[in-house]
């Protein structure tokens, strides 16, 4: 018993060392992960800071994000952090420390998952299993996620092997624990990276049939699979249902009108070279290749995987080769013979980045290469050991090489003094920078409310109105930011005070002069000019005379205003209209309408006193009820099974 426990501890320790080795550059210099002004700084970190501030200042879990896009739904965003439990660590540690620890935790969890799958499910020895673990941990694709700040994709790396492990157990054993493990792993995938969840769900039947060793187990295992699907739906319903309701109102739908497939390959040959080793593309390709093109599987890893593939049963070999061809044709994107078909598929058009499917080849190589090593080791142990060393060396070189890519500093960003000035001056007023000069994580830290922003989804109504507010024009084309990146690169924005005032923009920051005399220059800090909008309107006012309402309480989820009862008419709220907002006037339900400039409005009768506006999508209520019931029922059933056996 003691020997078994010692061996188990040695395995955990070895995998821990592997994980620490993988992120060694980040341990030495955390800015390789935290300081690149990428998705981590522009999207994930601002959201975490915003949620943390809301919990501290308002004692509520924010469902609405007031920080960007003049306000935007948070609970409906697929990458929102509010329902993913490990993010609680951000409430305990400083955000940067939490991001570092969570990255390590998810890599370690993923490494354990792939090791156990190889060692327990496939019955490979520890050396072969360690090799597969190293290939998975040191994947260049994962390094690209770190470099790009794709936090959700990094976290999702933890759960892919566990889905494989539990699915493999279900097809051969009928324990409820395996069904529950599969459901939790799939739910975790959903909360970390929703597109990866959908892709796994799409290939689920194929995986099931490939892992089914005994056709006689089909009937018994299929019921467990269906139970897992139901439990998974129940666990994710709290987020899935609001997302589903909101998707049709977002800018992602523009892709259906003007599809854009990334990455753009110059040729099939470039794709093949990148898939094997980036040095085949060019000597500087480790740094120069686009993030979505950094898909190397490793020359030596592929060689071992080929040996493993050759030694599979004929049925599995054919299935694996067929799957490889399909994945390759999808990842080829614009260079693929089936590109016209991809453009006709709503799923792939909305997926947008075709190399999102590349986790499948990574896992395949991580599984096949150690099997190839085991076969080769029996015949030629020295050769097998030498190849294994080359596999690890190549993987680590490509992993570390991408991770230490030089950090580019954007000289066009405003200094801290600008944020401090706006924090003190912009009270209940929004802020706009004409060149996107404000870092979104710093803006969130200083609790600024911006009319610009960055995210995978934005509301169509605001996207279309923002062009007027910001004093420019753009076509309805999908982009990750408002204003779109091509606008700020190609022109100097010169917004008008009257349109900014409609969304309560009190201050404008610009490195170049602005022409509107109603934008009063009040401060210059370095190369940046700060203008005060003297036409600015309050956050709530009556149409016509523009008389403001007194705010009693303003929070992400609820706004309360007070009137003296002397006025009646249409109340305008300088907040973006979105389904899910409700209103009560003196305790009675009132209808919120959308104005022609995408704001909220409601009719206020005379003698009204208290106006309460709150955000609570009905899909969230239904989803919360389903998720709560699922957790209670599943936990009760698990306890019952435990007591019974």
Q: Name the H helices within 277-380.
A: 285-288, 299-310, 314-331, 339-344, 346-351, 359-379
Tokens of 414: 């405003």
- Cβ atoms 453, 431 nearer than 8 A: no
Residues 458-486 pLDDT 10s: 999 999 999 999 999 999 999 999 999 88
Q: Which pTM does this prediction carry?
A: 0.95
Angle in degrees, CA 639, 640, 645, rounded to 5: 100
State the chain's mean pLDDT as an integer.
94
550: left (phi over 0), alpha (psi -120 to 50) or beta: beta
Average pLDDT over residues 41-55: 97
Q: How far apart are CA 452 and CA 462, in angstroms?
A: 10
Task: Report whether 591 contacts 550 (CB < 8 A).
Answer: no
* Residues 6+ positions from 103 with CB-CB distance below 8 Å: 23, 26, 33, 146, 151, 154
Its sign, for the CA torsion 156, 161, 167, 173, is: negative
Q: At what angle do helices 218-246 and 176-192 cross, to 10 degrees?
A: 20
Residue that is written with structure tokens 């998707």 in the block: 247
Sign, Cα dihedral of 546, 552, 555, 559? negative
From the centroid of its chain, how far is CA 236?
15
CB count in 10 Å sphere of residue 497: 21
Q: Give the end-to-end CA distance of the chain in Å, rounded to a whole number.
A: 23
Give the model's pLDDT for residue 3.
57
Backbone φ and ψ of 541, nearest 5°: -155, 160
Overall average pLDDT of the 191-215 stretch: 85
Neighbours of 625 (CB within 10 A): 12
CA-closest candidate to residue 54, choices 558, 390, 574: 558
User: HSE (CB half, 13 Å, CA atoms) of 401?
Assistant: 21
Q: Which of 47-61, 139-153, 219-233, 497-511 has the lowest mean pLDDT?
A: 219-233
For 126-148, what is each residue's pLDDT tens digit?
A: 999 999 999 999 999 999 999 99
Let me know: does 317 contact 381? Beta carbons within 8 Å: no
| pLDDT over 70 at 204, yes or no | yes
pLDDT digits (tens, 9 = 90+) for 297-340: 999 999 999 999 999 988 889 888 999 999 999 999 999 999 99
Q: What percent of the chain has pLDDT over 90?
A: 86
Q: In the chain, pLDDT over 70 holds for what percent of residues?
A: 97
pLDDT for the residue numbered 9: 73
- Given 3-state DSSP classes, what are the helix, strand and coil percentages for the chain, each rounded to the nearest 5? 60, 10, 30
């Amino acid at each position: 018993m003691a020997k078994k426990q010692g061996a188990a501890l040695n395995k955990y320790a070895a995998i821990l060392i592997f994980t620490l080795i993988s992120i060694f550059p980040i341990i030495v210099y955390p800015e390789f992960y935290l300081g690149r002004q990428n998705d981590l700084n522009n999207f994930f970190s601002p959201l975490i800071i915003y949620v943390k501030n809301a919990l501290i200042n308002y004692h509520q879990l924010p469902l609405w994000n007031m920080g960007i896009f003049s306000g935007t739904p948070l609970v409906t965003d697929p990458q929102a952090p509010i329902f993913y439990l490990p993010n609680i660590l951000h409430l305990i540690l400083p955000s940067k420390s939490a991001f570092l620890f969570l990255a390590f935790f998810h890599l370690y969890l993923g490494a354990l998952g792939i090791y156990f799958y190889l060692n327990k499910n496939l019955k490979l020895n520890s050396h072969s299993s360690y090799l597969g673990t190293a290939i998975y941990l040191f994947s260049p694709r994962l390094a690209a996620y770190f470099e790009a700040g794709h936090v959700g994709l990094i976290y999702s790396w933890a759960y892919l092997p566990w889905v494989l492990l539990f699915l493999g157990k279900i097809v051969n054993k009928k324990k409820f624990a395996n069904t529950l493990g599969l459901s939790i792993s799939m739910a975790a995938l959903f909360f970390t990276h929703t597109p990866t969840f959908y892709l796994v769900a799409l290939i689920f039947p194929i995986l099931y049939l490939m892992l089914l060793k005994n056709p006689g187990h089909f009937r018994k295992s299929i019921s467990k699979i269906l139970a897992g699907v139901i439990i998974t739906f129940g666990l994710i319903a709290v987020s899935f249902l609001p997302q589903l309701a909101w998707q049709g109102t977002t800018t992602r739908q523009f892709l259906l009108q003007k599809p854009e497939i990334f990455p753009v390959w110059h040729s099939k040959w470039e794709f093949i070279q990148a898939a094997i080793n980036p040095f085949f593309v060019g000597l500087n390709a480790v740094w120069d290749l686009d993030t979505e093109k950094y898909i190397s599987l490793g020359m030596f890893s592929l060689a071992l995987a080929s040996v493993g593939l050759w030694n599979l049963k004929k049925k599995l070999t054919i299935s694996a080769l067929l799957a490889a061809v399909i994945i390759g044709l999808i990842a080829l994107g614009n260079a693929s013979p089936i590109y016209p078909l991809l453009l006709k598929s709503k799923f792939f058009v909305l997926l947008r980045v075709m190399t999102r499917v590349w986790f499948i080849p990574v896992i395949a190589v991580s599984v096949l290469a150690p099997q190839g090593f085991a076969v080769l080791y029996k015949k030629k142990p020295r050769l097998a050991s030498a190849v294994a060393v080359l596999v690890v060396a190549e993987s680590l070189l490509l992993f570390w090489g991408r991770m230490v890519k030089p950090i580019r500093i954007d000289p066009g960003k405003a200094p801290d003094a600008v944020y401090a000035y706006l924090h003190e001056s912009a009270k209940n007023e929004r802020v706009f920078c004409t060149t996107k000069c404000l870092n979104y994580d710093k803006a969130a830290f200083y609790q600024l409310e911006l009319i610009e922003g960055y995210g995978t989804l934005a509301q169509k109504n605001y996207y279309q109105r923002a062009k007027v507010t910001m004093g420019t024009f753009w076509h309805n084309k999908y982009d990750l930011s408002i204003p779109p990146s091509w606008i700020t690169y190609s022109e100097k924005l010169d917004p008008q005070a009257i349109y900014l005032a409609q969304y309560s923009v009190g201050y404008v920051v610009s490195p170049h002069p602005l022409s509107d005399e109603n934008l009063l220059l009040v401060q210059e800090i370095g190369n940046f000019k700060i203008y005060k909008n003297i036409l600015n309107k309050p956050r709530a006012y009556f149409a016509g005379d523009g008389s403001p309402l007194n705010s009693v309480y303003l929070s992400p989820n609820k706004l309360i205003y007070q009137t003296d009862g002397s006025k009646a008419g249409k109340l305008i709220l300088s907040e973006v209209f979105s389904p899910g907002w409700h209103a009560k006037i003196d305790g009675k339900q009132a209808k919120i309408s959308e104005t022609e400039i995408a704001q909220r409005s409601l009719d206020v009768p005379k003698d009204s006193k208290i106006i309460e506006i709150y955000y609570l999508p009905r899909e969230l209520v239904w989803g919360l009820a389903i998720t709560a019931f699922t957790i209670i029922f599943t936990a009760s059933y698990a306890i019952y099974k435990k007591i019974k056996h």
